[in-house]
Amino acid sequence: MMPYVLAIDQGTTSTRAILFDARGAVVASAAQELTQYFPQPGWVEHDAEEIWAATASVVAGTLARANCSPQQIASIGVTNQRETVVIWERATGRPVGRAIVWQDRRTTEFCRRHAADQPWIRERTGLVLDPYFSATKLQWRLSQDPALLPLAERGEIVAGTIDSYLIARLTGSVSHVTDYTNASRTMLLDLRRLEWDPELAAFFGVPLAMLPKCLPSAADFGVTHGLSFLPDGITISGVAGDQQAALFGQGAFTAGEAKCTYGTGAFFLVHTGSRAIVSQNQLISTVAAMTDSTPQYALEGSVFVAGSAVQWLRDGLRIISEASATEELAAQSNPQEPVIFVPGFVGLGAPYWVPEARGAIFGLTRGTQPADLARAALEGVAFQVADLIDAASHDLNATPLDLRVDGGMANNRWFLQAQSDLLGLPVRPALCAESTALGAAFLAGLRVGVWKNLDELRAQLGQSQQFSPAMSPSDRQRRLRTWRRAVRAVMVFAKETESDSSLIDDGN
């Protein structure tokens, strides 16, 4: 009887469960959308209890569609939206308040006040001091409710990223664990020692007693217990933050291999092997998926708005009825309409790091049509990814040979050609549309012997079609210079002083 691996993919806008067979093929899946809460401008929250209920629902739905007996599940892999943080009661698993989402910017002022501490924090963690990461969110939550702190110090309430929370619920509150990829996104982990750092915990006011135990991405995280939708005893043996899981699911196991996932945001990672590189070009250093105790690292750049820009065209401007319509619409755009869209709805991430920034559209004329806005929205994502790869190439003194891509926007052929043109590199979409879940499944299956080694995984992934650059180098550089002028203008406006225009090179 062929074994199956169940992947739980808990994302920003939905929760999915996908069942993979031993060939890495999708057997069945189910998904459920997640409610977004915006209590104030720049604040983004999720209901952790809703996340758990959705997880139970999609797992049950997937098994029903597959007509699969739970006894055929060899292991469970978990992948998750990173940086989003939950506090819950250790004994019951009940959340304490809503989860604060990675997109949330409520701690911008804290980061601004402590800007002088960024150098040592960056050296220790590989991260920049930004509201994006979990520690500032935890600091805010604990400071808002003084009654929580003594409970946290006694370990009666605990905290973690979504993976930790789901594992606690899956194991009946037995396991309080995380993997190193997720831990490296909290701003509380020493990147080289791979341990929680007492000095960082003290700086952010986070008791160490509330933090989970850290493990490699392929490890024994616990077994299911006390669930209505799964029997007791199924092992959870693969865990990784969504972007590291996608890197693994794309077969980028070694130094120099790169991928970009286009979801709500766009996330570029390039593997750097066993060496942690502190970027000199405003990228962040992070832990890559580890199949054993050997450290693995990557450089990463995050674009906060990618697919959500397309959602804005659909739900905000209502110029499209569905996201897929942007492909045909962008192709109808007039190339003479010089529209540039900087989609900074929730600030700008790497390599700019301006949390105060907001979106802007440049070059509007009386002739601007919906097609031009659709083109500009897609190009706004592609331009940002081009800036990330440029920064990584400077850090590594080498340019990736190609870019492996996945996520919703990777289904848009017009966009992938534009991305290739603006990078000057081949772009290869994943054969499996579920690279993130596949990465979690690969990690879980490796641990329990469904797959023997990385070579076996590479053989299963195969080769995908390729988009090759068709734009001349001179046109590419001209368009990048125009884009960077637009970004500089957004940054100047956000900072309210022209002196900040020096924060980004305009390419001249």
Residue by residue, DSSP assigns 362-376 as E---TT--HHHHHHH
Of 430 and 43, more confident: 43
Q: What is the number of structural domains in the chain?
A: 2
Residues 236 and 317 in one domain: no
Q: Which of 343-347, 381-385, 475-479 has the lowest mean pLDDT?
A: 343-347
Spatial separation of the C-alpha atoms in residues 361 and 267, rounded to whole Å = 22
Confidence of residue 254 (pLDDT cuts 50, 70, 90): confident
**C-alpha span between 190 and 248 (Å, rounded):** 22
Query: Helix, strand or coil for residue 28?
Result: strand
Same domain, 172 and 215: yes
Q: Write phi, then psi, for 301 (nearest 5 degrees).
A: -130, 135
CA separation, residue 448 to residues 355, 440, 443 (Å): 42, 13, 9
- pTM, 2 dp: 0.84
8 and 72: one domain?
yes
Domain contains 441:
no
* Average pLDDT estimate for 486-492: 91
Query: What is the spatial distance between Cα 147 and Cα 58, in angstroms, rounded to a whole number?
Result: 35
- 168 and 314 both lie in a single domain: no
pLDDT, tens digit (0-9, with 9 covering 90-100), for 178-190: 999 999 999 999 9
3-state secondary structure (DSSP) of residue 79: strand
Question: Residue 410's Cα: distance from chain center in Å?
Answer: 15
Among residues 243, 233, 251, the alpha carbon closest in space to that of 75 is found at 233
215 lies in the same domain as 264: no
What φ, ψ does residue 374 adopt, rounded to 5°?
Answer: -65, -45
Q: Using alpha carbons, select from 255, 349, 355 the residue that is nearest to residue 298.
A: 255
Task: Output the domain CATH number for residue 76.
Answer: 3.30.420.40
Quote the mean pLDDT of the chain: 90
Q: Percent of the chain scored above 90 by pLDDT?
A: 66
Residue 260 predicted with pLDDT over 50: yes
Query: Which residue range forms the structural domain that includes residue 101?
Result: 4-243
pLDDT at 501: 46
Question: What is the Cα gyration radius of the chain?
Answer: 22
- Indicate the residue among 209, 243, 277 that finishes a domain: 243
Per-residue pLDDT tens digits for 92-101: 999 999 999 9
DSSP, residue by residue, 416-432: HHHHHHHHTS-EEE-SS
- Residue 447 resides in a domain: no
User: Does residue 116 belong to any structural domain of this protein?
Assistant: yes
Categorize the per-residue pLDDT at 500 as very low, low, confident or very high, splitting at 50, 70 and 90. Answer: very low
Q: Does residue 341 belong to any structural domain of this protein?
A: yes
Q: Do 289 and 180 lie in a common domain?
A: no
The residue among 205, 223, 243 that closes a domain is 243
Mean pLDDT on 15-28: 92
- Which DSSP helix (H) or strand (E) runs through 476? helix 473-495
Which has the minimum average pLDDT: 82-91, 225-234, 249-258? Answer: 249-258
Terminal Cα distance for the chain, rounded: 62
- Mark which of 243, 277, 301 sits at the end of a domain: 243
Rounded percentage of the chain residues whose pLDDT exceeds 70: 97
